[in-house]
Structure 1
Amino acid sequence: MENASAGLVGKPELMLEVRVELVDVEPKIWRQLEVRGSLTLDQVHQILQTAFGWEDMHLHRFTADEPFAPPLRPVDAGIPETVQWLPRQECDEPDDRPEEDLSLGQLLALGGGAAFYEYDFGDRWLHRLEMASQRPSNEDIPPARVLDGARRGPLEDSGGFPGYEEILEALADPNHPDHHEYSEWVAEITGSTKPFDPAFLDIPALNQALAAQVRAS
C-alpha cells in the first residue's frame, strides 16, 4: 500500500487509531485499528475485509453519515440522497463518488471524526468508524494493524445479524432442529469441522494477513 491520498503533499503523515464496530450487533464485534490516514478508501476496504474476516464477495460503500438514519429535515420537499464512495466502476448515480479519490483521513474529517462502511447490501453489515487518536507516522510503522478487538466477524451470507444469531443458537444446541444442517453449512463455509467459536479472535493472525496484504499490493 502506498501513499495515494490526493491533496496531502507536504503535510506530515499521520497514523489514525480508529475503532470499527458493527452497528446493532450484540455481543459487540469490534476492532481497534491503527491505519495510515493517507490510505485511500479502496485500500481501507481491503483492510476492513481482512480485519473482520470478510471475503470480499459483495458490494460495499463508505459514507460520512449514518446511511440509514432519517434526515433531520426535508430538502426541497424530498429526502436527500446520501453521498457515498464506491469503487469507481460502481459509480452510477449523481451522488456517487470514487473511493479511490478520497483518503480515510479526509472521510473522517467530513464526518466530524466518524464515518460508516457498509458491506453486503443484502445483509447490511454496517460498520461505524470512529477516530480515537492520531500520531505522526514513520517508515517503521506498518500502514495498518489491529491493536485490539472482540469476537470473530460474522459468516458471509448468514442473513444479517438476525440470521447470524439464529445460526449461532442452532450451533450451540445439539437438540435444535437445524443443528445438523447449520453445522454442515458452517463447516463448508469455514473449511473446518472444528466447533465454531464466535468469540474467538486471533489478532496476531490478522496482523500477519495484513502484512501479507501490504507485501502483495
Structure 2
Amino acid sequence: MKHTVDTNPDGQDSLLELRVLLVGSHPEIWRQLELRGSTSLDQMHGVLQVAFGWEDAHLHRFTDSDPFAPLRPINGAIPEAPQWLPTQWCEEPADRPEEDCSLDQLLARGSGMAFYEYDFGDNWLHRIELISRRPATISTPPARLIGGARRGPLEDSGGMPGFEEILDALADQSHPEHIEYLAWVAEMTGADEPFDPAFLDVEAINRELILVLHRRTGRTP
C-alpha cells in the first residue's frame, strides 16, 4: 500500500527546528533537530530512535497532546484521544497510520507541540516542541541534529526512575549492586568503557541519520 503525506497547503516544504525533551529527565536529556515539515511520522520515529540511542525494540506512538494528562469528559463521556501508529498496529477507532501524517500536520493539531512515546512498559515520553519554521531549500537535509544534552537512557532500564537508580549505583563503588550494574551496562552497550551519561556524539548521530533516512526514503541527506 502506497502512503502519501501532504506538505504545507501552498506546496512549499518547510524546515522545522524542534526541541525534543525526554520528559522527567533530571538533568534534562534533550535534542535540537532540524527536519523537513513533510517528514512522515514513521520517518520521524526513525530519527528519534537514532537521536536518543534507542534500538527500536519496543512499540511506539505519536499523540498531539500529553497521553498521560487527564482528559475532560464531553457530554459525560471521556473522549478517545487520537494516536498515530504503524499501519499494522492500528486496531482501535482512534488509531491512525503514522505513515499518512507529516510533522507539519501533527504539530498543527497540537499548536506546535506533540508527543512520542516509546516502550509502553518503561514509558519513555518525548515532548516535541516547534521552535521555528522557515522555507526549506533543495539543499536542505531531511534531518540534522544541531544540539542536545546527555546520552539517552539504556533500553529496558525501568523508565526514568530505574535509569536514575542505575546511574546512582554506577557512580558509587560501595553500592551493593555496583558490580552487577557494571556488568549489565557492559552487556547492554557492548563496551567495557565507563558509562558516561553526559556524553553526546552529535557527529556520530548525524552520520547514522544519513543511513536511516536513506533506508526509509531512498534520499541521501
TM-score > 0.5, shorter chain as reference: yes
5+ residue gaps, structure 1:
none
The CA distance in 1 between the partners of 2:88 and 2:74, in whole Å, is 29
SS at match of 2:185: helix
The CA distance in 2 between the partners of 1:76 and 1:9, in whole Å, is 34
Alignment length (residue pairs): 214
Structure 1, residues 105-125: CA drift from partner, whole Å, max 9, x if none? 100000000000000000000
Q: Do the aligned partners of residues 30 and 62 (structure 1) sit closer, same or farther apart at CA in structure 2, a change above 3 Å counting?
A: same
Identity of aligned residues (%): 61
Q: How does 1:63-78 map to 2 (within 5 A)?
A: 63-71=63-71, 73-78=72-77
Matched, 1:60 2:51: no
Contact 1:20 1:129 (8 Å CA) reproduced:
yes
5+ residue gaps, structure 2:
217-221
The CA distance in 1 between the partners of 2:120 and 2:180, in whole Å, is 25
Contact 1:4 1:39 (8 Å CA) reproduced:
no
Matched, 1:27 2:43: no
Q: How far has the Cα of 1:211 moved from its partner?
A: 1.2
CA RMSD of aligned residues (A): 1.4
- Partner letter of residue 34 of structure 2? E
Contact 1:60 1:119 (8 Å CA) reproduced:
yes
SS at match of 1:123: coil
The CA distance in 2 between the partners of 1:7 and 1:191, in whole Å, is 41
SS at match of 1:31: strand
Residue 83 of structure 1 corresponds to which residue in structure 2? 82
The CA distance in 1 between the partners of 2:68 and 2:50, in whole Å, is 25
Q: How far has the Cα of 1:169 moved from its partner?
A: 0.4
Taking structure 1 as the reference length, the TM-score comes to 0.95
- Say which is worse superposed, 121-130 or 134-143, in terms of deviation: 134-143
Q: Where in structure 1 do 4 or more consecutive aligned residues deviate above 4 Å?
A: 7-10
Matched, 1:202 2:196: no
- Partner letter of residue 104 of structure 1? L
Matched, 1:152 2:151: yes
Q: How far has the Cα of 1:9 moved from its partner?
A: 7.2
The CA distance in 1 between the partners of 2:139 and 2:125, in whole Å, is 32
The CA distance in 2 between the partners of 1:133 and 1:205, in whole Å, is 25
- Partner letter of residue 16 of structure 1? L
Residue 219 of structure 2 corresponds to which residue in structure 1? none
Contact 1:4 1:38 (8 Å CA) reproduced:
no
Residue 43 of structure 1 corresponds to which residue in structure 2? 43
Taking structure 2 as the reference length, the TM-score comes to 0.93
